[in-house]
């Protein structure tokens, strides 16, 4: 690419050049007709910013707090499975880049790197663990304990899977994981020896998860528990009632239920229901610093990004991730300044409104 990438989407094009079709589509694809995948992106463009002017903006900072601790950037690294399939540096490189950016990395249950290795790669970083509960409670407990013992400070329970969504790109590609690609923590927890396929992994998960299970996990866990996959006020209320320390507005990146509501549309409803009792995070379709600013103005404490940092990893390992996070930081800092805000905490609902008419710039 002449001149190098200038925004996050450029990194997606670089990743497409470097990855084989099967792995690229596994990461890039959504469910069904991919309506939600596309609308996650488009929905942020249906909001407009209302800047304030003549503010003292001698110093603008992107720093804020998440779970009562500082982060330099309100953009967290979302859990993404099988990162070694994108680049040999895998989750260790991702964690090191997140730490360098001063933000949190959330490690997937389906990580190709163990939590202790991630912690060693970024000893000064902040790490959370995304959890798929399994039918065997001993497996679930072993996964949580390994992460917590490695210093991970929160558990993020995914509530919108299993079952897995209708991933038609994978079916067309007859995609299977490379035989040498393993998930070592999960293999150890299940007492297995070889790598598990995607189908074998989903078969082991708890398909009967309920809110009572969330309450049990939250009650037993020594660190805060978030529930990821919330799209309605009713489920946000239930999450808090069952012990969640925070919620993540998410539709799994459009990979589960196609035509589910875009996260930018669901966020205001959830924020209103939560009413400041716990942090609200959001993911899905965030590609610009202006998207981050919009989410925070709508009440999110921070956002998570998955595909953007994965494209950075695929393109250039840790350095690529750092560049992606750096781009989002620069864009957010500029957006804050142009909105008349010196820091993310100064953004509020007064800074945003829905576009009054359909615009060519919102598609």
**C-alpha distances in Å from residue 325, one per residue of 87, 167, 207, 352:** 17, 28, 35, 24
DSSP bridge partners of 77: 105, 305
Query: CA 185 to CA 162: how far, in whole Å?
Result: 19
363 residues of the chain, pLDDT tens digit each: 567 999 999 999 999 999 999 999 999 999 999 999 999 999 999 999 999 999 988 899 999 999 999 999 999 999 999 999 999 999 999 999 999 999 999 999 999 999 999 999 999 999 999 999 999 999 999 999 999 999 999 999 999 999 999 999 999 999 999 988 999 999 999 998 888 999 999 999 999 999 999 999 999 999 999 999 999 999 999 999 999 999 999 999 999 999 999 999 999 999 999 999 999 999 999 999 999 999 999 999 999 999 999 999 999 999 999 999 999 999 999 999 999 999 999 999 999 999 986 655 554
Q: pTM score, two decimals?
A: 0.96
Q: Specify the DSSP class assigned to residue 298.
A: T
87 is an active site residue:
no
Considering the candidates 127, 242, 252, 351, report the single residue annotated as catalytic: 252
Query: CA 317 to CA 88: how far, in whole Å?
Result: 8
Helix (H, G, I), strand (E, B) or coil at 256: coil
């Amino acid at each position: 690419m002449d001149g190098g990438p200038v925004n996050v989407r450029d990194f997606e094009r670089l990743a497409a050049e470097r990855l084989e079709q099967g792995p690229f589509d596994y990461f890039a694809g959504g469910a069904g007709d991919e309506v939600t995948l596309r609308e996650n992106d488009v929905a942020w463009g249906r909001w407009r910013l209302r800047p304030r002017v003549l503010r003292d903006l001698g110093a603008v900072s992107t720093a804020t707090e998440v779970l009562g601790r500082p982060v330099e950037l309100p953009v967290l690294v979302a859990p993404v499975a099988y990162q070694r399939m994108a680049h040999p540096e895998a989750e260790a490189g991702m964690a090191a880049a997140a730490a360098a950016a001063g933000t949190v990395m959330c490690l997937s249950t389906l990580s190709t790197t163990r939590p202790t290795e991630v912690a060693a790669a970024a000893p000064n970083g902040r790490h959370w663990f995304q959890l798929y509960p399994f039918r065997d409670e001993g497996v679930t407990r072993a996964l949580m304990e390994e992460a917590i013992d490695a210093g991970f400070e929160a558990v993020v329970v995914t509530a919108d899977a299993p079952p897995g969504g209708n991933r038609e790109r994978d079916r067309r590609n007859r995609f299977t994981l490379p035989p040498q690609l393993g998930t070592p923590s999960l293999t150890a927890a299940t007492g297995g020896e070889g790598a598990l396929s995607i189908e074998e992994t989903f078969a082991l998960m708890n398909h009967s998860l309920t809110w009572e299970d969330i309450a049990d996990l939250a009650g037993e866990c020594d660190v805060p528990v978030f529930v990821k996959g919330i799209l309605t006020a009713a489920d946000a209320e239930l999450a808090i009632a069952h012990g969640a320390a925070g919620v993540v507005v998410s539709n799994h990146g459009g990979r589960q239920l196609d035509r589910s509501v875009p996260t930018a549309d669901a966020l205001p409803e959830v924020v209103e229901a939560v009413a400041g009792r716990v942090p609200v995070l959001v993911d899905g379709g965030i590609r610009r610093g202006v998207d981050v600013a919009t989410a925070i103005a709508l009440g999110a404490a921070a956002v998570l990004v998955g595909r953007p940092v994965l494209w950075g990893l695929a393109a250039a390992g840790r350095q690529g991730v750092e560049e992606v996070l750096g781009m989002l930081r620069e864009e957010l800092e500029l957006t804050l300044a142009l909105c008349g805000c010196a820091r993310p905490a100064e953004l509020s609902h007064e800074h945003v409104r829905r576009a009054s008419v359909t615009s060519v710039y919102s598609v």
